[in-house]
Protein backbone atom coordinates (compact mmCIF):
# COMPACT_ATOMS: atom_id res chain seq x y z
CA UNK A 1 0.00 0.00 0.00
CA UNK A 2 1.10 3.58 -0.58
CA UNK A 3 1.75 5.69 2.53
CA UNK A 4 -0.89 8.20 1.43
CA UNK A 5 -3.54 5.45 1.19
CA UNK A 6 -3.20 4.07 4.73
CA UNK A 7 -6.33 5.00 6.72
CA UNK A 8 -5.73 7.45 9.55
CA UNK A 9 -8.18 8.67 12.15
CA UNK A 10 -7.33 12.19 13.39
CA UNK A 11 -7.19 12.27 17.20
CA UNK A 12 -5.42 15.56 17.82
CA UNK A 13 -4.93 19.04 16.43
CA UNK A 14 -1.87 19.22 14.18
CA UNK A 15 0.68 20.62 13.58
CA UNK A 16 2.18 20.76 17.05
CA UNK A 17 4.29 23.83 17.72
CA UNK A 18 7.96 24.18 16.84
CA UNK A 19 10.16 26.99 18.09
CA UNK A 20 13.62 28.13 19.18
CA UNK A 21 14.66 27.57 22.80
CA UNK A 22 16.52 30.86 23.00
CA UNK A 23 17.55 30.67 26.65
CA UNK A 24 18.90 27.11 26.56
CA UNK A 25 20.74 27.84 23.29
CA UNK A 26 22.37 30.86 24.92
CA UNK A 27 23.40 29.02 28.10
CA UNK A 28 24.97 26.15 26.20
CA UNK A 29 26.68 28.58 23.84
CA UNK A 30 26.57 26.19 20.88
CA UNK A 31 24.18 25.84 17.95
CA UNK A 32 20.58 27.07 18.09
CA UNK A 33 18.31 24.49 19.72
CA UNK A 34 14.69 24.14 18.64
CA UNK A 35 11.92 22.09 20.20
CA UNK A 36 9.03 20.17 18.65
CA UNK A 37 6.21 20.14 21.20
CA UNK A 38 4.62 16.72 20.72
CA UNK A 39 3.99 16.77 24.46
CA UNK A 40 1.07 19.12 23.92
CA UNK A 41 -1.79 17.30 22.24
CA UNK A 42 -5.46 16.57 22.65
CA UNK A 43 -5.43 13.03 24.14
CA UNK A 44 -5.13 13.59 27.91
CA UNK A 45 -1.99 15.76 27.67
CA UNK A 46 -0.66 13.99 24.59
CA UNK A 47 2.78 12.68 23.75
CA UNK A 48 4.31 10.62 20.97
CA UNK A 49 1.78 7.76 21.17
CA UNK A 50 -1.06 9.96 19.96
CA UNK A 51 0.29 10.14 16.40
CA UNK A 52 0.78 6.37 16.33
CA UNK A 53 -2.70 5.78 17.68
CA UNK A 54 -4.21 7.75 14.80
CA UNK A 55 -3.25 4.83 12.56
CA UNK A 56 -3.91 2.07 15.06
CA UNK A 57 -7.39 3.27 16.03
CA UNK A 58 -8.27 3.67 12.34
CA UNK A 59 -7.42 -0.03 11.93
CA UNK A 60 -9.34 -0.97 15.09
CA UNK A 61 -12.49 0.83 13.96
CA UNK A 62 -12.20 -0.67 10.47
CA UNK A 63 -12.07 -4.11 12.09
CA UNK A 64 -15.23 -3.39 14.09
CA UNK A 65 -13.55 -3.20 17.50
CA UNK A 66 -15.57 -1.99 20.46
CA UNK A 67 -12.96 -2.80 23.13
CA UNK A 68 -9.28 -1.94 23.28
CA UNK A 69 -6.63 -3.85 25.21
CA UNK A 70 -3.10 -2.64 25.78
CA UNK A 71 -0.17 -2.96 28.16
CA UNK A 72 2.76 -1.09 29.71
CA UNK A 73 4.29 0.00 32.99
CA UNK A 74 1.95 1.38 35.64
CA UNK A 75 3.31 4.79 34.71
CA UNK A 76 2.90 4.25 30.97
CA UNK A 77 2.29 7.33 28.85
CA UNK A 78 1.30 5.03 26.02
CA UNK A 79 -1.44 3.43 28.09
CA UNK A 80 -2.78 6.84 29.21
CA UNK A 81 -3.05 8.10 25.62
CA UNK A 82 -4.62 4.83 24.45
CA UNK A 83 -7.26 4.99 27.19
CA UNK A 84 -7.94 8.63 26.27
CA UNK A 85 -8.33 7.78 22.57
CA UNK A 86 -10.64 4.88 23.41
CA UNK A 87 -12.82 7.12 25.60
CA UNK A 88 -13.01 9.74 22.85
CA UNK A 89 -14.14 7.11 20.35
CA UNK A 90 -16.59 5.46 22.75
CA UNK A 91 -14.60 2.24 23.13
CA UNK A 92 -14.07 0.25 26.31
CA UNK A 93 -10.46 -0.11 27.45
CA UNK A 94 -8.67 -2.86 29.38
CA UNK A 95 -5.11 -2.14 30.48
CA UNK A 96 -2.47 -4.58 31.72
CA UNK A 97 0.21 -2.96 33.83
CA UNK A 98 3.36 -4.13 35.54
CA UNK A 99 5.82 -2.18 37.64
CA UNK A 100 9.29 -1.48 36.25
CA UNK A 101 10.38 0.18 39.52
CA UNK A 102 9.09 -1.92 42.45
CA UNK A 103 10.45 0.53 45.04
CA UNK A 104 8.09 3.19 43.65
CA UNK A 105 4.93 1.10 43.79
CA UNK A 106 3.12 3.44 46.18
CA UNK A 107 3.92 6.58 44.15
CA UNK A 108 3.04 4.91 40.87
CA UNK A 109 -0.32 3.69 42.10
CA UNK A 110 -1.34 7.01 43.58
CA UNK A 111 -0.79 9.59 40.88
CA UNK A 112 0.47 10.48 37.42
CA UNK A 113 -0.60 8.43 34.42
CA UNK A 114 -2.25 5.70 36.48
CA UNK A 115 -4.54 8.19 38.18
CA UNK A 116 -5.60 9.48 34.76
CA UNK A 117 -6.24 5.94 33.46
CA UNK A 118 -8.58 5.35 36.37
CA UNK A 119 -10.32 8.71 35.93
CA UNK A 120 -10.92 7.87 32.25
CA UNK A 121 -12.63 4.63 33.19
CA UNK A 122 -10.13 1.98 32.11
CA UNK A 123 -10.50 -1.56 33.45
CA UNK A 124 -7.09 -2.08 34.97
CA UNK A 125 -5.19 -5.29 35.74
CA UNK A 126 -1.97 -4.99 37.73
CA UNK A 127 0.17 -7.97 36.74
CA UNK A 128 2.96 -9.06 39.03
CA UNK A 129 5.27 -10.47 36.38
CA UNK A 130 6.99 -10.07 33.04
CA UNK A 131 5.82 -10.10 29.41
CA UNK A 132 4.78 -13.77 29.52
CA UNK A 133 2.48 -13.20 32.48
CA UNK A 134 1.07 -10.04 30.86
CA UNK A 135 0.38 -11.91 27.61
CA UNK A 136 -1.33 -14.70 29.52
CA UNK A 137 -3.54 -12.25 31.38
CA UNK A 138 -4.40 -10.50 28.11
CA UNK A 139 -5.31 -13.80 26.48
CA UNK A 140 -7.64 -14.75 29.34
CA UNK A 141 -9.46 -11.40 29.31
CA UNK A 142 -9.67 -11.45 25.50
CA UNK A 143 -11.45 -14.82 25.59
CA UNK A 144 -13.82 -13.55 28.27
CA UNK A 145 -14.64 -10.44 26.22
CA UNK A 146 -15.30 -12.52 23.10
CA UNK A 147 -17.67 -14.75 25.11
CA UNK A 148 -19.50 -11.59 26.17
CA UNK A 149 -20.02 -10.78 22.47
CA UNK A 150 -17.43 -8.00 22.32
CA UNK A 151 -14.89 -7.36 19.57
CA UNK A 152 -11.51 -6.76 21.25
CA UNK A 153 -8.49 -5.18 19.56
CA UNK A 154 -4.96 -5.42 20.96
CA UNK A 155 -2.81 -2.28 20.72
CA UNK A 156 0.86 -3.39 20.82
CA UNK A 157 3.39 -2.19 23.39
CA UNK A 158 4.14 1.46 22.77
CA UNK A 159 1.92 1.31 19.65
CA UNK A 160 5.26 0.58 17.99
CA UNK A 161 4.37 -1.71 15.12
CA UNK A 162 4.83 -0.82 11.45
CA UNK A 163 1.38 0.73 11.26
CA UNK A 164 1.66 2.92 14.37
CA UNK A 165 5.10 4.17 13.37
CA UNK A 166 3.61 5.83 10.27
CA UNK A 167 2.43 8.52 12.70
CA UNK A 168 6.00 9.73 12.90
CA UNK A 169 6.27 9.95 9.13
CA UNK A 170 3.53 12.55 9.46
CA UNK A 171 5.60 14.31 12.15
CA UNK A 172 8.64 14.35 9.85
CA UNK A 173 6.64 15.90 7.02
CA UNK A 174 5.12 18.41 9.41
CA UNK A 175 8.51 19.51 10.73
CA UNK A 176 9.96 19.79 7.23
CA UNK A 177 7.23 22.32 6.41
CA UNK A 178 7.94 24.22 9.65
CA UNK A 179 11.68 24.28 8.88
CA UNK A 180 11.03 25.62 5.41
CA UNK A 181 8.88 28.43 6.78
CA UNK A 182 11.61 29.30 9.29
CA UNK A 183 14.43 28.98 6.76
CA UNK A 184 16.38 26.37 8.73
CA UNK A 185 17.80 22.96 7.86
CA UNK A 186 18.54 21.12 11.11
CA UNK A 187 21.60 18.90 11.29
CA UNK A 188 20.36 16.63 14.10
CA UNK A 189 17.09 15.65 15.82
CA UNK A 190 17.26 14.16 19.32
CA UNK A 191 14.66 11.93 20.91
CA UNK A 192 14.30 9.26 23.56
CA UNK A 193 14.18 5.77 22.04
CA UNK A 194 12.18 3.05 23.80
CA UNK A 195 10.15 0.61 21.75
CA UNK A 196 11.63 2.23 18.64
CA UNK A 197 8.52 3.25 16.69
CA UNK A 198 9.02 6.98 17.01
CA UNK A 199 12.66 6.74 15.95
CA UNK A 200 11.97 4.40 13.01
CA UNK A 201 8.95 6.37 11.80
CA UNK A 202 10.71 9.72 11.99
CA UNK A 203 13.76 8.47 10.11
CA UNK A 204 11.62 6.84 7.44
CA UNK A 205 9.49 9.97 7.10
CA UNK A 206 12.47 12.30 6.67
CA UNK A 207 14.01 10.18 3.92
CA UNK A 208 10.64 9.41 2.27
CA UNK A 209 9.77 13.10 1.99
CA UNK A 210 13.18 13.97 0.56
CA UNK A 211 15.35 15.01 3.51
CA UNK A 212 18.64 13.15 3.07
CA UNK A 213 20.78 15.01 5.59
CA UNK A 214 19.17 15.47 9.00
CA UNK A 215 20.51 12.89 11.45
CA UNK A 216 18.16 11.27 13.97
CA UNK A 217 19.94 10.63 17.28
CA UNK A 218 18.07 8.23 19.54
CA UNK A 219 19.00 8.35 23.20
CA UNK A 220 18.21 4.92 24.57
CA UNK A 221 16.03 5.05 27.67
CA UNK A 222 16.57 1.44 28.67
CA UNK A 223 19.14 -0.71 26.88
CA UNK A 224 22.64 -0.67 25.39
CA UNK A 225 23.25 0.81 21.96
CA UNK A 226 23.41 -2.45 19.99
CA UNK A 227 20.19 -3.82 21.47
CA UNK A 228 18.30 -0.62 20.82
CA UNK A 229 19.64 -0.31 17.27
CA UNK A 230 18.23 -3.75 16.57
CA UNK A 231 14.87 -2.64 17.98
CA UNK A 232 14.86 0.27 15.53
CA UNK A 233 15.89 -2.04 12.65
CA UNK A 234 13.03 -4.40 13.52
CA UNK A 235 10.45 -1.60 13.42
CA UNK A 236 11.93 -0.33 10.12
CA UNK A 237 11.35 -3.81 8.70
CA UNK A 238 7.76 -3.77 9.97
CA UNK A 239 7.13 -0.40 8.30
CA UNK A 240 8.21 -1.99 5.01
CA UNK A 241 5.53 -4.64 5.50
CA UNK A 242 2.87 -1.92 5.68
CA UNK A 243 3.88 0.56 2.96
CA UNK A 244 5.82 0.44 -0.28
CA UNK A 245 9.20 2.09 0.18
CA UNK A 246 12.53 1.50 -1.54
CA UNK A 247 14.72 -1.05 0.27
CA UNK A 248 17.59 1.42 0.61
CA UNK A 249 15.50 4.40 1.77
CA UNK A 250 17.06 4.22 5.25
CA UNK A 251 20.69 3.13 5.37
CA UNK A 252 22.47 1.30 8.18
CA UNK A 253 24.51 4.48 8.89
CA UNK A 254 21.22 6.33 9.39
CA UNK A 255 20.48 4.27 12.50
CA UNK A 256 22.16 6.18 15.34
CA UNK A 257 21.56 5.36 19.00
CA UNK A 258 23.48 6.24 22.15
CA UNK A 259 23.32 3.84 25.08
CA UNK A 260 25.23 6.20 27.39
CA UNK A 261 22.43 7.97 29.22
CA UNK A 262 19.84 5.52 30.53
CA UNK A 263 21.63 4.82 33.81
CA UNK A 264 20.84 1.60 35.68
CA UNK A 265 17.67 0.59 33.88
CA UNK A 266 14.40 1.70 32.36
CA UNK A 267 12.52 4.19 34.55
CA UNK A 268 15.32 4.44 37.12
CA UNK A 269 16.27 8.10 37.46
CA UNK A 270 19.75 9.49 36.68
CA UNK A 271 21.43 12.59 38.08
CA UNK A 272 22.05 14.02 34.62
CA UNK A 273 18.36 13.60 33.67
CA UNK A 274 17.27 15.25 36.93
CA UNK A 275 19.62 18.17 36.19
CA UNK A 276 18.28 18.45 32.64
CA UNK A 277 14.70 18.46 33.96
CA UNK A 278 15.52 21.35 36.30
CA UNK A 279 17.44 23.25 33.61
CA UNK A 280 14.57 23.05 31.09
CA UNK A 281 12.06 23.99 33.75
CA UNK A 282 14.04 27.02 34.88
CA UNK A 283 15.33 28.26 31.53
CA UNK A 284 12.43 27.42 29.21
CA UNK A 285 9.39 26.72 31.40
CA UNK A 286 9.16 23.27 29.85
CA UNK A 287 8.45 20.10 31.84
CA UNK A 288 10.41 16.92 31.07
CA UNK A 289 10.24 13.58 32.88
CA UNK A 290 12.77 11.21 34.50
CA UNK A 291 11.87 8.15 32.37
CA UNK A 292 12.20 9.42 28.78
CA UNK A 293 12.64 13.07 27.93
CA UNK A 294 14.93 13.93 30.86
CA UNK A 295 17.38 11.24 29.76
CA UNK A 296 17.10 12.30 26.12
CA UNK A 297 17.74 15.94 27.01
CA UNK A 298 20.69 14.98 29.23
CA UNK A 299 22.18 13.14 26.25
CA UNK A 300 21.74 16.08 23.91
CA UNK A 301 23.23 18.56 26.40
CA UNK A 302 26.20 16.29 27.05
CA UNK A 303 26.91 15.83 23.33
CA UNK A 304 26.76 19.59 22.75
CA UNK A 305 29.02 20.34 25.71
CA UNK A 306 31.56 17.75 24.59
CA UNK A 307 31.52 18.83 20.95
CA UNK A 308 30.48 15.38 19.81
CA UNK A 309 28.23 16.57 16.97
CA UNK A 310 29.75 16.99 13.53
CA UNK A 311 28.62 20.10 11.62
CA UNK A 312 26.00 20.88 14.24
CA UNK A 313 23.61 23.59 13.10
CA UNK A 314 20.03 24.11 14.24
CA UNK A 315 19.47 21.15 16.56
CA UNK A 316 15.97 19.84 17.25
CA UNK A 317 14.74 18.23 20.44
CA UNK A 318 11.59 16.16 19.90
CA UNK A 319 9.58 16.47 23.10
CA UNK A 320 7.72 13.17 23.19
CA UNK A 321 5.65 13.91 26.30
CA UNK A 322 5.71 12.08 29.62
CA UNK A 323 5.34 14.97 32.06
CA UNK A 324 2.46 13.25 33.94
CA UNK A 325 5.01 10.70 35.20
CA UNK A 326 7.02 13.47 36.90
CA UNK A 327 4.39 13.47 39.61
CA UNK A 328 5.44 9.99 40.75
CA UNK A 329 9.08 11.13 41.12
CA UNK A 330 8.22 14.25 43.15
CA UNK A 331 10.60 13.31 45.97
CA UNK A 332 13.57 13.83 43.61
CA UNK A 333 12.69 17.49 43.30
CA UNK A 334 10.70 18.58 46.37
CA UNK A 335 13.15 18.44 49.23
C1 LIG B 1 7.45 10.31 26.78
C2 LIG B 1 7.97 9.23 25.91
N3 LIG B 1 9.07 9.46 25.19
C4 LIG B 1 9.62 8.53 24.39
C5 LIG B 1 9.07 7.27 24.30
C6 LIG B 1 9.73 6.27 23.42
O7 LIG B 1 9.04 6.11 22.23
P8 LIG B 1 9.13 4.75 21.43
O9 LIG B 1 8.54 3.70 22.32
O10 LIG B 1 8.38 4.98 20.20
O11 LIG B 1 10.57 4.48 21.20
C12 LIG B 1 7.89 6.98 25.01
C13 LIG B 1 7.31 5.63 24.94
O14 LIG B 1 6.65 5.14 25.81
C15 LIG B 1 7.33 7.98 25.85
O16 LIG B 1 6.22 7.75 26.58
Closest listed residue to residue 77, CA positions, set 298, 333, 290, 317? 290
* Ligand 1 atom with the shortest distance to the CA of 321: 1
Q: Based on the fold, state whether residues 298 and 214 are members of the same structural domain.
A: yes
- Residue 222 Cβ inside 6 Å of ligand 1? The answer reads no
Please report which confidence band the pLDDT of residue 105 belongs to, taking 50, 70 and 90 as the band edges. Answer: very high
Confidence of residue 86 (pLDDT cuts 50, 70, 90): very high
Q: Would residue 123 count as lying in a domain?
A: yes
Residue 140 shares a structural domain with residue 266: no
Task: Give every CB contact of residue 308 below 8 A, 6+ residues apart in sequence.
Answer: 302
Q: Both 265 and 169 in a single domain?
A: yes
Ligand 1 atom nearest to CA at 198? 10
Residues 219 and 247 in one domain: yes
Give the CA diameter of the chain. 62
Whole-number average pLDDT of the chain: 97
Kindly state whether residues 180 and 218 are assigned to the same domain: yes
Q: Answer for the pair 6, 163: CB distance below 8 angstroms, yes or no.
A: yes
Question: What pLDDT, in 10s, does the model give residues 62-83?
Answer: 999 999 999 999 999 999 999 9
Q: What is the pLDDT of residue 296?
A: 98
Tell me, yes or no, whether 152 and 243 share the same domain: no
pLDDT for residue 129 is more than 90: no
**Distance of CA 192 from the midpoint of ligand 1 (Å):** 6
Task: Using the predicted structure, report yes or no on whether residue 131 has a pLDDT greater than 90.
Answer: no
Q: Assign 35 to helix, strand or coil.
A: strand
pLDDT digits (tens, 9 = 90+) for 12-33: 999 999 999 999 999 999 999 9
- C-beta neighbour count of 264 within 10 angstroms: 8
Residue 241 has pLDDT above 90, yes or no: yes
Ligand 1 atom index nearest CA of 160: 10
Which of 195, 197, 230, 273, when mutated, tests ligand 1's pocket best, judged by the most ligand atoms within 8 Å of its CB?
A: 195
Instruction: Determine contact, residues 209/177, Cβ cutoff 8 Å.
Output: no
Q: Is 76 a catalytic residue?
A: yes
- Banded pLDDT at 315 (limits 50, 70, 90): very high
Quick one: average pLDDT of 299-304? 98
CA of 148 to the centre of ligand 1 (A): 33
- Write the pLDDT tens digit of every residue in 207-223: 999 999 999 999 999 99
179: number of Cβ within 10 Å: 18
- Asked if 284 and 303 sit in the same domain, the reply is yes
Pocket flag, ligand 1, residue 322 (CB < 6 Å): yes
Contacts 24+ apart (CB under 8 A), 56-62: 56/155, 56/159, 56/161, 56/163, 56/164, 57/9, 57/11, 57/85, 57/86, 57/89, 58/7, 58/8, 58/9, 59/7, 59/153, 59/163, 60/91, 60/153, 60/155, 61/9, 61/89, 62/7
Terminal C-alpha separation, the chain: 54
Q: What is the CATH number of the domain that holds 75?
A: 3.40.50.1100
Element (H, E) at 265: none
Q: Which of 159, 184, 218 is the last residue of a domain?
A: 159
Classify residue 284: in a domain, yes or no.
Answer: yes
**pLDDT of 246 above 90:** yes
Please compute Rg for the chain using Cα positions: 19
Question: Is 112 part of a structural domain of the chain?
Answer: yes
Ligand 1 site, residue 294, Cβ cutoff 6 A: no
How many residues are given for the chain? 335
- Residue-range definition of the domain harbouring residue 147: 64-159
State which of 110, 126, 159 marks the end of a domain: 159
In testing the pocket of ligand 1, which one of 83, 194, 195, 273 has its CB within 8 Å of the most ligand atoms?
194
In this structure, the answer to whether residues 189 and 243 fall within a common structural domain is: yes
Residue 58 lies in a domain: no
Q: What is the mean pLDDT of residues 259-283?
A: 98
Confirm or reject: Cβ of 199 under 6 Å from ligand 1: yes
User: Ligand 1 in contact with 48 (CB < 6 A)?
Assistant: yes
Q: Which residues lie below 8 Å from residue 175, measured CB to CB, with a gap of 6+?
A: 18, 36, 189, 316
pLDDT of residue 89: 98
Tally the domains of the chain.
2
Statement to judge: residues 183 and 94 lie in one domain: no
- Cβ atoms of residues 261 and 290 within 8 Å: no
- Looking at the CA of residue 221, tell me the nearest atom of ligand 1: 6
Question: Domain check: are 308 and 191 in the same one?
Answer: yes
Cβ within 8 Å of residue 230, ≥6 positions away: none
Q: Which pLDDT belongs to residue 130? A: 84
Instruction: Given the residues 25, 76, 93, 272, select the one marked as catalytic.
Output: 76
Q: Is residue 19 part of a domain?
A: yes
Q: Tens of pLDDT along 170-208?
A: 999 999 999 999 999 999 999 999 999 999 999 999 999
How many percent of the chain have pLDDT more than 70? 100
Given 140, 159, 178, which residue is the final one in a domain? 159
Residue having the nearest C-alpha atom to atom 7 of ligand 1: 194
- Closest ligand 1 atom to 158 CA: 9
Cα-Cα-Cα-Cα dihedral sign, residues 58, 94, 140, 105: positive
How far is ligand 1, taken at its centre, from the CA of residue 160, in Å?
9
Amino acid sequence: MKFEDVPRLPLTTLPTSFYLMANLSKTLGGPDIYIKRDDVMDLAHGGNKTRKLEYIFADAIEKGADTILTMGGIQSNHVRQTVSGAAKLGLESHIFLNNPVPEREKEMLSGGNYLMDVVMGAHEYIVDGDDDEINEAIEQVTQKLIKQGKTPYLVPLGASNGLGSLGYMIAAREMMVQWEHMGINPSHIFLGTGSGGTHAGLLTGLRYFGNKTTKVIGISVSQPEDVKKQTVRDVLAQIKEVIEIPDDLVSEEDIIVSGDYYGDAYAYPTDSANDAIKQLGREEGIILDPVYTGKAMAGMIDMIKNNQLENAKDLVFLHTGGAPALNTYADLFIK
